[in-house]
Amino acid sequence: MLLNDFLMKILLKHNKMLYVLAIIFGCICGYGNLMQPAADFISNAFMKIFKCMSLPIIAVSVIVSISQQSANVQLKQIGKHTLLYTIGTTVVASFVACVLYLLISPSNITSAISGNPIDTIQSGKYADYVLGIIPSNILSPFLEHNVMGTLFMSIVIGIAIRCVPIKESQSLNNFFKMIQGMFLVIIGWVVKMLPLALFGFISTAIMQLKKGTNMKGLGGYLAVVLLSNVVQGILVLPMFLWGHKINPLATLRSMFPALSVAFFSKSSVGTLPITMETAENNLKISREISRFAFPLCTAINMNGCAAFIFTTVIYIMQNNGLESNLLALLQWIFISTIAAIGNAGVPMGCFFLSMSLLTSMDVPIDILWIILPFYAVIDMVETSLNVWSDCCVVKIIDKKFRANT
């Protein structure tokens, strides 16, 4: 089971200052190249821990939620609202990117491209991502860190448990509940060490950003990508919350631990255990809704990714002489939304998915080599936006269902 309320109150009281100290110390060490081996070790260790925990949490949470006999009608409604809100916010994110792209109208890159290591990476068509949802064996989604495959398999198992006789289904339910409880206890331990994780993530992120590259021709592109995330995060989603009579500032403060980890870890999937833990304890979201809606949101709610895919594909097409009219831009709003939904919430997932879409259309991807050094900060911003959107969606769903009960 989760950390009890008493321990969480103590944790939150003392960790607020520890978060601030970890961020300051991480910035100092990253900027001054201090304790680099230690920072690398800590960030890599916690990234492995987050990845190790995230997919099992997705699997058992979805299985337990779907397989419970008493949650049938409500579960369908939760799933329906989750899909509606997540797809809606993702479409809006792509549309915001489109509007900003037209307003800013970024110019082409004029500097020469030196080297093209990206071409050495194998890229398949987007259909491969769709086929990858169906696992070749029961362990492959975990071994390949396939979020959509894990979600698909968990839904099938949860439905199958509901179809077996009641006695057997109760035993299976109890089995998965015990596994879920075990993972959540481990998550409680990890939460206590979050300030240490933040130090490692911040230090390594700043070291990467210090490398720098030629900004010529990229200013407009970067402005579109970052402003798309900012507008979505501080205007669209807060208005979404206000429309449902929820205070966005209070929600943001409550989710600070999860958002800070998302920002510096650059993985919405890896942050999932922390997101669920923080939402249940700080926002008081019911466990039933949290453990079903958050894994589903993490798999399909990619606001930042949709904005990045739209802007990057259109910009690289433009640089290769393929101008897009208004109809083409509208088509790419739809395509980027679908592509983002199928994207894995792991570091650089959107980058390689954009590359895959471009290569499937035989568009040269050399310019991605110039964009790559800047992707560290882009990835941090869009990951935090993805998690913030998840929190907004789940908070609204929780309020709606509490009002109906």
| pLDDT tens digits, one per residue of 322-354 | 777 788 888 888 878 877 775 655 556 677 677
CB 392 within 8 A of CB 285: no
Q: Average pLDDT, stretch 311-320?
A: 88
Q: Which of the residue ranges 71-85, 201-215, 243-257 has the most confident prediction, judged by mean pLDDT?
A: 243-257
How many whole angstroms separate alpha carbon 257 and alpha carbon 278? 7
Per-residue pLDDT, 298: 80
Per-residue pLDDT, 288: 81
Closest alpha carbon to 307 in 251, 377, 381: 381
Task: Map out the domains of the chain as residue ranges.
Answer: 5-403
Q: Is the pLDDT of residue 81 over 80?
A: yes
Per-residue pLDDT, 311: 92
How many whole angstroms separate alpha carbon 265 and alpha carbon 260? 8
Q: Average pLDDT, stretch 181-194?
A: 75
Per-residue pLDDT, 392: 93
Q: Is the pLDDT of residue 61 over 50?
A: yes
Per-residue pLDDT, 127: 58
Per-residue pLDDT, 128: 61
Q: Sorting pLDDT into bands at 50, 70 and 90, what band is 146?
A: low
Q: Sorting pLDDT into bands at 50, 70 and 90, what band is 8?
A: very low
| pLDDT tens digits, one per residue of 115-125 | 444 443 334 45
Backbone region of residue 284 per phi and psi (left: phi > 0; alpha: psi in -120 to 50; beta: other values): left
Q: Average pLDDT, stretch 65-94?
A: 76
CATH superfamily of 5-403: Sodium:dicarboxylate symporter (1.10.3860.10)
Per-residue pLDDT, 123: 41
How many whole angstroms separate alpha carbon 177 and alpha carbon 182? 9
Q: Sorting pLDDT into bands at 50, 70 and 90, what band is 356?
A: low
Residue that wins the pLDDT comparison between 110 and 158: 158
Cut 0.75: pTM above it: no
Per-residue pLDDT, 67: 72
Amino acid identity of 126? Y
Residue that wins the pLDDT comparison between 299 and 220: 220
Number of H helices, E strands in the chain: 19, 0
Lookup: tokens for 280? 């249940």
Per-residue pLDDT, 1: 38
Q: Is the pLDDT of residue 282 over 80?
A: yes
Lookup: tokens for 363? 């568009």
Residue 127's CB: how many other CB atoms inside 10 A? 10
Q: Is the pLDDT of residue 131 over 50?
A: yes
Residue that wins the pLDDT comparison between 168 and 40: 40
Q: Is the pLDDT of residue 11 over 50?
A: no
In 210-325, where does DSSP find H-type helix?
219-231, 237-243, 248-254, 256-265, 268-282, 287-300, 303-319
How many whole angstroms separate alpha carbon 372 and alpha carbon 355? 11
**Average pLDDT value for the chain:** 76
Q: Sorting pLDDT into bands at 50, 70 and 90, what band is 112?
A: very low
How many whole angstroms separate alpha carbon 38 and alpha carbon 201? 11
- For 108-112, 210-214, 252-256, which range has the lowest pLDDT when averaged over its residues? 210-214
Q: Which long-range contacts (CB under 8 A, 24 or more apart) does 371-378 make?
A: 371/218, 371/221, 371/312, 372/118, 373/211, 373/212, 373/213, 374/213, 374/218, 374/222, 375/348, 375/351, 376/205, 376/208, 376/209, 376/266, 377/205, 377/209, 378/222, 378/225, 378/226, 378/308
Per-residue pLDDT, 344: 53
Q: Is the pLDDT of residue 95 over 90?
A: yes
Lookup: tokens for 357? 């879409």
Per-residue pLDDT, 156: 83
How many whole angstroms separate alpha carbon 141 and alpha carbon 30? 35
- Report the chain's C-alpha Rg in angstroms: 21
